[in-house]
Amino acid sequence: MASSPPLPKKNSEYQEAQYWDERYRHALDTAPYEWFGDFEAFRDLLEPELQREDRILVLGCGNSALSYELLCGGFPNVVSVDYSPVVVAAMRDRYAHVPVLRWETMDARALSFPNSTFDVVLEKGTLDAVLAGERDPWTVSPEGIQTLDEVLSEVSRVLTPQGRFISLTAAAPHFRVRHYAQPDYGWSLRHASYGSGFHFHFYVMHKGRELSPAQQALGARLHAPPSPPPSPCFLQDSDKEDFLSAIEL
């Protein structure tokens, strides 16, 4: 049985290339690691969103077998990028027998592809790593918001006018929708979930379509100033039962 990959000492290390280089130092000799399930776990959701001729970009591929499984599933035009040159080299070696698959070292915040290069951009866990250092998922820091916006702006840029962005994540809608629901990206937004027991989340954004009014309202809240903390609630003396009415459940 393959051993589990090393965990970082603190979550913010998930944002550092050095951590991923060390994690993937032996990637060629270890089994693929699948964030949020393997291909079969979400295949029924993913395949209806794809067409055989699609040009697909896998963003933050790691040592996942997803790119190879897409090829085996009948989608031959797959490019995979990661900002760890260590894992990119390992994946090129692992799949040297299928030269149609391309592997590139690239930062998701500054993709080197021309505009409108891909019909589909697919990410699985990459954006979770981008936000891993956040202390409060309800109140993402300005730096976190900016970093995620840089990635999503690049995704929108490299998509064709009718392209699709597909995001697989552990982040439920109340955490992630506000980031995706920005009109500047020029896409619509749909959500589904998958998995048994613990559920993961599957988001599909279609370029050339519009967000719903409710989604636009959520997106606008991302940039609103934080609400002031609520006033403290002082309980009455414990020998009177009416103090119970002051407790907010």
- Using DSSP bridges, classify how beta strands 102-105 and 118-124 pair: parallel, antiparallel or unpaired: unpaired
Whole-number pLDDT of residue 103 = 97
Dist. CA 201–CA 33, nearest whole Å = 18
Dist. CA 101–CA 116, nearest whole Å = 20
CATH of 38-222, one of 3.30.420.40, 3.40.50.150, 1.10.3720.10, 3.40.640.10: 3.40.50.150
Per-residue pLDDT of the chain in tens (249 residues, 90 and over written 9): 344 556 555 455 455 666 656 666 766 667 777 878 899 999 999 999 999 999 999 999 999 999 999 999 999 999 999 999 999 999 999 999 999 999 999 999 999 999 999 999 999 999 999 998 888 888 999 999 999 999 999 999 999 999 999 999 999 999 999 999 999 999 999 999 999 888 999 999 999 999 999 999 999 999 887 666 555 555 444 444 443 344 344
166 exposed, middle or buried (CB, 10 Å; 0-12, 13-18, 19+)?
Answer: buried
The answer to whether the CB of 125 falls within 8 A of the CB of 35 is yes
Strand intervals (E) in 67-174: 78-82, 102-105, 118-124, 159-169
Dist. CA 242–CA 235, nearest whole Å = 9
Whole-number pLDDT of residue 74 = 96
